[in-house]
Structure 1
Amino acid sequence: MSRTPLPRPTLLPGLPRIWRTPHTLQLGLDPPRAVLLDLPEPRAAGLLDLLDGSRSERLALAEAATFGMRPDEARTLLDTLHTAGLVVPAQSLFPPAMPERLTGEAAALAYSATTTSPARTLRRRASARVVVTGRTRLAPAVAVALATAGIGHLHPDLTGPVEAHELPGSPLTPADLGHPRSQATASALRRAAPTTETRPVRRGAASLVIHLGEDHPTALSAISHAHRRRPLLTASIREGKVLVGPLVPPSTSPCLNCITLHRRDREPTWPLDDPWSSPSGPFKAGSLLLESASPDAGEVGSGIGPGRAGPAAVVPPEPCATATLLAAVAYITAEALTFVDGNTPETLGAEVEISRPGTFRRRTWSPHPACPCTRRSSLPRRP
């Protein structure tokens, strides 16, 4: 054998099988990946069923004899599949103790163009700690989507009670009406992804904070996350559209405040909530947001502890078509996973406007010279 034997060879799940002739089997439909297999007889296709990751290559080749294949024929078939990337070692596809619900996710990652193995990506997601904050109807769906994609620790820090207008396109149910959003979303997470941890994240330990909605002054949010060096992705519903971004990693600009300042330059009357220029100074202003969270709230960005409605937590109906909402949920989830997986999101330094499924408008922004985020690396880190 000219190559190293594969430990527990596994055929990628979900490959269509199409018989072209009684002895020719097409495996896969995507032209760059599909292969034609010449088999000595139709029952030789049974070898494919042995490649399920439960046996060594040596054992699989030995058992191929039961399907009428000689050892050299079975080895040639396995070599062809391995060269085409359709057979991989089991440990590179599935991490140990992976929930069965993630089999499809692992297979999709294997089909993607990334060079990172699915198992490594899923291990990275399993160790990630993501906090979803805000009080918009986007939040429960984004939280559940991330958990079902393999995020291991997802804390929903959502304010206010669940209302009827939030249910379309949401994982929440009529039984959740009137209950705190955080609790209802945590219940939805347990239903969809029972192994996901939902408790508060220790301060400073979040892999990513996703703030959904516009219930914070922009500059205050920018200051809060700048102090803690924690990555932030924002999204909000605005007049039937969903605005996503920018995603601001630690020590990277432009930030939320940069966008506000750019808009202020274009429109002098644009509202500017700028605590950086307040007499009390940026750190004191920023601490109003940082210290407003309850002591046990973890990586809270809302200023109101989980499950607490708060005096202004009732959200008016958000005008957004269900199809647009679901398209935005998919995009936000994809951007968050791209970042957690160690790749470059489209919203890095950009804001994407989703007006309907398939219709996207991307705006890029540069760091604003008046925003202190350009000097963020010199800011003291908050504990």
Structure 2
Amino acid sequence: MYPMLKPALHRAWRGRNTVQFGVTPAHAVRLGPVDIATGSFLELLDGTRGLPLLYEEARGLGLSDHHVDVLLERLVGAGLLDDPRSAGPHAEALRHRAEVMDRQRPDVASLSVAHPEPGGGLRRMAARQSMRVQVRGAGRLGASIASVLSGAGVGHVDVLDGGRAEPWDVAPAGLPSASVGERRDVAARRLVRRSAPGPAPRSAAAGRVGRVPAGVGRAATGGAESARARAAGPPEGSAQPGLSLIVVAPREGLSGYAPVPDTASPWMASGTPHLYTGVVEATGVVGPLVLPGGTGCAGCLELHRAERDPQWPRMLAQWRSGRRGAVPACDLGLATAVAGLAAAHALAFLDGELPASTGTRWETALPLLDWRSERVGPHADCVCGAAEGVKGEGASAAVQAQDTMVG
């Protein structure tokens, strides 16, 4: 073990005896009381010393081995201690790829803050290399999402779309102007390769990572666990890893805002998680992230809307069957913001978390751009069956609570 204080966290003394690690409330941790000798010892935790040398130098400061053990245990418990060497063989291999690590040091640093266990950041970055994500759409939104996912270390990013790139598909984070007139899928594949920090791995071998947040139901966690199982890679000898996630980002934003449930039937049948996103008119949406059988799906979304507005199905049929001659509205700043949020939610899911878009849609509109959320719960009449799973889990929880009360 070569412990180091997480370098991504800013450090400051709140007073003579208390150290604060981290600036923002989301990740700030206070450590105290800290005397002068312990404060000096903290400076030695830079990842260059193993435990034997740390014990020796601590004795020189008048600190006992027991004091060091207790301090290190407290630092680990507070999520302040890192040890990249303990992240496993795949992470160790990544650590020695200098050309890749130079690109991804900021990402690994951020992951080390978000995931408290020592080596957690590098372990998750290494696991991303074996994951496969499919982005459906290569317009301003979809191509930008694909480039961010590839640049963030996802080893296999497929982009599906038809036709040829138009001038209005070009975006700073997406397709370049040189791709105009080229087949969209070809241009998107080139963008993904150019955005990647290194060549795609030849095999998909990585251990499961991450954890399921406390308080999440069995139906939802089943979707998350199956995604992480796919992320662990295909059977030995398989040419390509299974899909960990599908991101739906159509160029025509109506299909992202009001997705056709039948399109998702194969994903629901295979248990493939999928995240909807889009820009329609001057509104951007991210979510819901659908965990088949565990959260509300596109069919649930459509049924809930029809209940709130009985005329919705009539209008939706007209919009879907109408002529699409005009270039769809897609503000570049809005599309870039939506792409960034969608990519961040996708990465959080791939890293083993259930982001805020799980079963929830986030929506913002020009010109004020205030994000608001709408829960997309399972609908009892939807064929996805998620409502039955939630109902069964609720009954089980009620029985458990009753048993606890009787006991």
TM-score normalised by length of structure 2: 0.65
Which residue is 1:306 aligned to? none
Which residue is 2:314 aligned to? 269
1:24-173, aligned counterparts within 5 Å? 28-30=21-23, 32-33=28-29, 48=43, 51-59=45-53, 70=60, 72=62, 80=71, 83-84=74-75, 85-92=79-86, 95-98=91-94, 99-100=100-101, 101-112=103-114, 117-173=120-176
Aligned pair count reads: 323
2:314 alignment partner, SS class: coil
Identity of aligned residues (%): 27
Distance in 2 of aligned mates of 1:27 and 1:253: 39
Which residue is 2:361 aligned to? 351
Deviations 1:244-299 (A, max 9, x none): 222212323421122223333432513359xxxxxxxxxxxxxxxxxxxxxxxxxx
Equivalent in 372, 382, 394 of residue 361 of structure 1:
372
Distance in 2 of aligned mates of 1:26 and 1:91: 26
Q: CA deviation at 1:210?
A: 0.7
Equivalent in 328, 335, 339 of residue 345 of structure 2:
335
Checking the alignment, whether the CA contact within 8 Å between 2:147 and 2:191 is kept in structure 1 is yes
Give the structure with the higher percent helix: 2
Q: CA deviation at 1:138?
A: 0.9
Contiguous gaps of at least 5 residues in structure 2: 95-99, 203-233, 389-407
Instruction: Please say if 1:247 is aligned against 2:304.
Output: no
Instruction: Please say if 1:14 is aligned against 2:4.
Output: no
Checking the alignment, whether the CA contact within 8 Å between 2:278 and 2:285 is kept in structure 1 is yes
Distance in 2 of aligned mates of 1:175 and 1:74: 65
Checking the alignment, whether the CA contact within 8 Å between 1:141 and 1:171 is kept in structure 2 is yes
Checking the alignment, whether the CA contact within 8 Å between 2:135 and 2:158 is kept in structure 1 is yes
1:59 alignment partner, SS class: helix
Contiguous gaps of at least 5 residues in structure 1: 1-6, 274-311, 378-383
Checking the alignment, whether the CA contact within 8 Å between 2:128 and 2:154 is kept in structure 1 is yes
Q: CA deviation at 1:150?
A: 2.8
Q: CA deviation at 1:371?
A: 2.7
2:379 alignment partner, SS class: coil
Instruction: Please say if 1:259 is aligned against 2:249.
Output: no
AA aligned to 1:159 is: G
Q: CA deviation at 1:315?
A: 8.6
Which residue is 2:179 aligned to? 176
AA aligned to 2:60 is: R
Equivalent in 222, 242, 259 of residue 205 of structure 1:
242
Deviations 1:156-183 (A, max 9, x none): 2233333332334424332233223333
Distance in 2 of aligned mates of 1:230 and 1:261: 21
Greater relative CO, 1 or 2 (CA 8 Å, sep 6+): 1
The two structures, once aligned, show a CA RMSD in angstroms of 4.1
